[in-house]
Amino acid sequence: MDLKEIRNIARENLKGYCRVCPICNGLACAGEVPGMGGHLTGSSFKSNVEDLSKVKIKLKTIHDAKKPDLKFNFFNTQLEVPIISAPITGTSFNMGNALTEEKYISSVVNGSIDAGTIAMIGDSANPTFYETGLEILKEVNGKGVGILKPKENSIVIESIKKAENINTIAAGMDIDGAGLITMALQGAPVSPKTVDELKEIIHSTNLPFILKGIMTKDEAILAVEAGAKAIVVSNHGGRVLDHTQSTAKVLPEIAEAVKGKIMILVDGGVRSGIDVFKMIALGADAVLIGRPIVFGAYGGYREGVSLIIENMKNQLIQTMILTGAKNLNSIDNSMISIEW
């Protein structure tokens, strides 16, 4: 199987819900939520891709970074690449049912592990999606993370206990799901959380806790105060609110405030290993990939997911060789120029 084949099969299987465009930038699918698009005008999704494309890399070849080291320590689990598959739920019923939820999650979890990394699994109004994700993570000895919607604290705490029982690497919440009014209509209301409410959740577990959906320096500082061990700088791939800033744009300021105090993950518009490099240079420790992983799963199941990640890994190696970066810690903002 090659990437071209994967994309062609994915295009067929996604039945027009996603066109698998040459560049996945939110233009063709603007407003298609449910679907793969961004909220309303799609501006938040589009800015993620656009702003990242304005970060330019300084090519350098007189150095000794001949064999870059890509290893990333994720809460004592060693990953071969600083790339994690993002939590994505509901492709089964949102995108024409070519893959069941179970098949999607198992393709992503196993394909990610084959490529030397891990996946996060998501949550939705229907709790069976999270439960299915945990069942699949159990088969791989908990090698992954469950990300919960900001439901009532008692529900979140109970759901984290289930993750503890199968020894997942961490637990977390996509707190930017707080405005999803459709969740209330389906009997699972969500809401923002105060720092005290977050502390109650975080103190209830020994698992490192990840807060996904942080877009400002102030909230990154609050995440540290609440006791989170990682944040994901994310606007949910532009799916929850139109006209947010891009993740690439807010990342440097967030990194300046909290780097070293908390792990900084980021997602939104990362489409290649070159984009992974750019995000690390802007201040991230590692990245999450969303839509490209959907293409992998819909185009080649486990093998498709693994190939997507392997391809990005090879692009990242090439970028590190051509910038003089021996390892992830040596990637910094002196290696890029920002043209926005």
Ligand X SMILES: Cc1cc2nc3c(=O)[nH]c(=O)nc-3n(C[C@H](O)[C@H](O)[C@H](O)COP(=O)(O)O)c2cc1C
To 5 degrees, how large is the angle CA 210–CA 288–CA 196? 20
In terms of DSSP H, where are the helices of 151-272? 153-165, 181-185, 195-203, 217-226, 247-258
Single out the residue of 237, 283, 296, 300 in contact with ligand X (rule: CB under 6 A): 237
The distance of closest approach from Cβ of residue 134 to ligand X in the complex, given in angstroms and rounded to an integer, is 14
Of 86, 109, 110, give the one whose Cα is nearest residue 36.
86
The DSSP H or E segment spanning 137 is helix 128-139
Count of residues of this chain found to bind ligand X when the rule CB under 6 A is applied:
24
The distance of closest approach from Cβ of residue 217 to ligand X in the complex, given in angstroms and rounded to an integer, is 19
Single out the residue of 51, 101, 267, 285 in contact with ligand X (rule: CB under 6 A): 267
The token duo for 329 is: 């810690």
The token duo for 274 is: 């070159």
Alpha carbon distance 123, 150 (integer Å):
10
The residue number with the shortest CB distance to ligand X is 290
Q: Does 289 bind ligand X (CB under 6 A)?
A: yes
The distance of closest approach from Cβ of residue 330 to ligand X in the complex, given in angstroms and rounded to an integer, is 25
User: Which of positions 118-137 make contact with ligand X (CB under 6 A)?
Assistant: 122, 124
**Other Cβ atoms closer than 10 A to 131:** 15
60 labeled part of a ligand binding site: no
Is 63 an annotated catalytic residue?
Answer: no
Give exposure, 218-249, as e/b (b: 16+ Cβ within 10 Å): ebbbbbbebbbbbbbbbbbbbbbbbebebbbb
User: Which of positions 177-206 make contact with ligand X (CB under 6 A)?
Assistant: none
The distance of closest approach from Cβ of residue 326 to ligand X in the complex, given in angstroms and rounded to an integer, is 27
Hey, which residues are catalytic here?
A: 236
Binding-site residue ranges: 212, 234, 236, 239, 267-271, 290-291
Which residues lie near ligand X (CB under 6 A)? 36, 48, 86-91, 122, 124, 147, 174, 212, 234, 236-237, 239, 267-270, 289-291
Binding-site residue ranges for glyoxylate: 239
Binding-site residue ranges for FMN: 212, 234, 236, 267-271, 290-291
